[in-house]
Chains A and B, each alone.
Chain A
Amino acid sequence: MTRPWPVIAAMFLALAGLSAVAGYEMAPPRPAQWREIAWPFPRDGWPAGRAFHCGVAECGADVEVYLRPKLGFCNCDSGVADDDEVDRVSDVDMISPRFVPLKAGDVVDIAEMRGRIRAYDLDGKRTAVGIAVSHRCDLMAVAAQGKGDTANVQREVLALLGSQQIVKWMTAAVQGR
């Protein structure tokens, strides 16, 4: 006859493990921890910008954001007027030249600059978000990609763009202050 305590201990350990996994999966993601990464794209007409990554644990999915100023690339009076403008200027084409809008975009305000935000499907597995906001004749172009729920990717991206550090950088890059 075998002694019962090793079996009981094993059961406790298994249950604890399962609970931990379940708890991990059901818990809301921790506040996003964005890590700056190297600009991942080859040189094009605009100087490289800044890129950030947020992992599954913090953002609920792997999300990457790329942002850079495009000085002198905007209609000085009308700004970012329509979704076609977002398609053209937001840099989503750097992630993939094939992107399909999921729906019409929306007006967005970031760092006291107005523009538009639009979500795209890249390949059936990944979501992209394009944002273009303007100040006078200059733009801040933002492209992001992530797996999973589009609304979640968009929410995390906007949270990053609304952070004090990024607002300060965007304001300096586009408005020189």
Chain B
Amino acid sequence: MGGRATAVCCAFIFVLLANAASAQQQKIGDPPEASNMRLVGTSDLQARSAYQPTIHHQGDRWIAYIGHHGGTDDIPDPVNPMTGKPEPNGTSIVDVTDPAHPKYLRHIPGQEGKYESGGAQMVRICDGKDLPKGDRNAVYMLRTFGSEAHEIWNVADPANPVLVTRIGGLKDTHKNFWECDTGIAFLVSGAPDWRTRRMTQIYDLSDPAHPVKIRDFGLPGQEPGATGAVPTELHGPISTGPKGNRVYFGYGTDKGGFLQIVDRDKLLNGPKEPTPDNLKFPEIARMPLSAMNGAHTVFPMPGMPIAEFAHDKDGKSRDIVMIVDEAIQNECGEARQMVWFADVTTEARPMLISSYTVPEAWGAFCERGGRFGSHSSNESMAPVYYKRLAFIAFFNAGVRALDIRDPYHPKEVGYFIPSITAATDKRCVTIDGKDRCKVAIQTNNVETDARGYIYAVDRANTGLHILELTGAARAAAGLQ
């Protein structure tokens, strides 16, 4: 009798737990999950897997340029409805002047290939009038072309882009940075003779039609001819330009990451031969993360006033770098990838001061399918959010809005998890030799514009979600 009652109880609890898990599973038609964020508009981006969005104020228009990964096993080259032809994923150009009604303008095909092996994942924009030797009427788009090249296009007419130049012969590419006021570009490349897939090639792109190579840069041990251990590969740099004179490099993806702080002037004007000594010369400091975390985005926020320290005789303001790891395994198959804040005020001794992750239990995110963990942050330094709010792409946990005014105690103030659609691609794990697949949103990247709109794009082909803040999050940003 007792055994039977126990069995009934166990079965009841099992059913409850199973229901709780399945209740978190996204279904087509479910509403988005949100707090203090609201959906304004969407674009399906032709159901292409999306990576980096960059939003540019172009004349009186706002244009979103969105890089894509390669296609999927099921659909390697999605059909472009505007041409009726299958095209390898490349760059989407979308007019978001009216964010409630985004208008898809053009798809520029990228490199043939699936997933990470194709497409044109990264994109940066500079106006010709800002570049020292640019065509004043041009708007230049720097994009990667799969793993083999960087390209510059003139997108002054965003519906009719024109290829300007190409830097090819590479074995990989990734998240570039381009200073629009100087033209200096830090291109994440795989130079054929280097021992790593991703290092930095620095170019003067002040005249985009005539790129001038300045130097190759990486970590000692990565250079041609070196032997022994090979340091972690680069993910991406962000420069503070000649005024800040610093370049922050993030190395690693989900393992062995670190932040490297580099003197920009020494990097550009120091000895350029890739010897170990010359590679060390511009480095100010290197701060390792845990071996279980990488550094996808390293976002500098120098001179942040810290309210808590306002009455202290020293250290009232701090130089902060936000470090975002990248989750790469589906269904929590790795250590948690999250967000870290480093105080780099004393540059030679940078120190982690705080961290942030979405609590897994809030949404049973490890069971929803796909990746759970951080991937990237917004990189816009427009005053609307800079040093106040940060937005983190957290894969199946959507976009998370953080109040970072006190970076020693970052606080989540809003989130938005988009609904899935018929276009949302599955994500699989292997169990007993067989694929077990689930469908979940995979918010990959997020960017903001100077108006305060937030642009989230999906790695699992769900498209672009344009958001705005509401309630307490809007108040934290100081928006009306």
Contacts and interface: CB of A to CB of B under 8 A. Distances in A.
A78 B230 CA distance: 20
A60 B287 CA distance: 44
B113 A77 contact: yes
Given A71-B329, A87-B195, A87-B230, A44 B291 contact: yes
A99 B113 CA distance: 35
Nearest to A72: B328
Contacts of A99: 227-229
Nearest to A42: B291
A98 B433 contact: no
Interface residues of A, number: 24
A45 B230 contact: no
Nearest to B257: A45
A75 B255 contact: no
A93 B430 contact: no
B5 interface: no
Contacts of A45: 255-256, 291-292
B195 A88 contact: yes
A46 interface: yes
Majority-rule SS of A interface residues: loop
Interface string B109-151: 0000111110000000000000000000000000000000000
A97 B432 CA distance: 37
Interface string A26-43: 000000000000000001
B227 A176 contact: no
12 contacts: A43-B291, A45-B256, A45-B291, A72-B329, A78-B117, A88-B230, A97-B228, A98-B227, A98-B229, A175-B430, A176-B430, A176-B434
Interface residues of B, number: 27
B10 to A, nearest CB: 28
Given A72-B328, A72-B329, A98 B292 contact: no
B292 A93 contact: no
A76 interface: yes
A3 interface: no
B192 to A, nearest CB: 10
Contacts of A100: 227-228
B430 A72 contact: no
A101 interface: yes
Given A72-B254, A100-B228, A175 B433 contact: yes
Interface string A120-137: 000000000000000000
Contacts of A46: 255
Interface of A: 43-46, 71-73, 75-78, 84, 87-88, 93, 96-101, 175-177
B437 to A, nearest CB: 13
B31 interface: no
A72 B254 CA distance: 10
A176 B228 contact: no
B49 interface: no
A100 B225 CA distance: 11
Interface string B221-248: 0000001111000000000000000000
Contacts of A93: 228-230
A77 B115 CA distance: 9
B169 interface: no
Given A75-B116, A76-B116, A96-B228, 4 more contacts: A43-B291, A71-B333, A100-B228, A176-B434
Which of A45, A46, A101 counts the most chain B CB atoms within 10 A?
A: A45
A76 B117 contact: yes
A43 B367 CA distance: 27
A147 B154 CA distance: 60
A85 B248 CA distance: 26
B18 interface: no
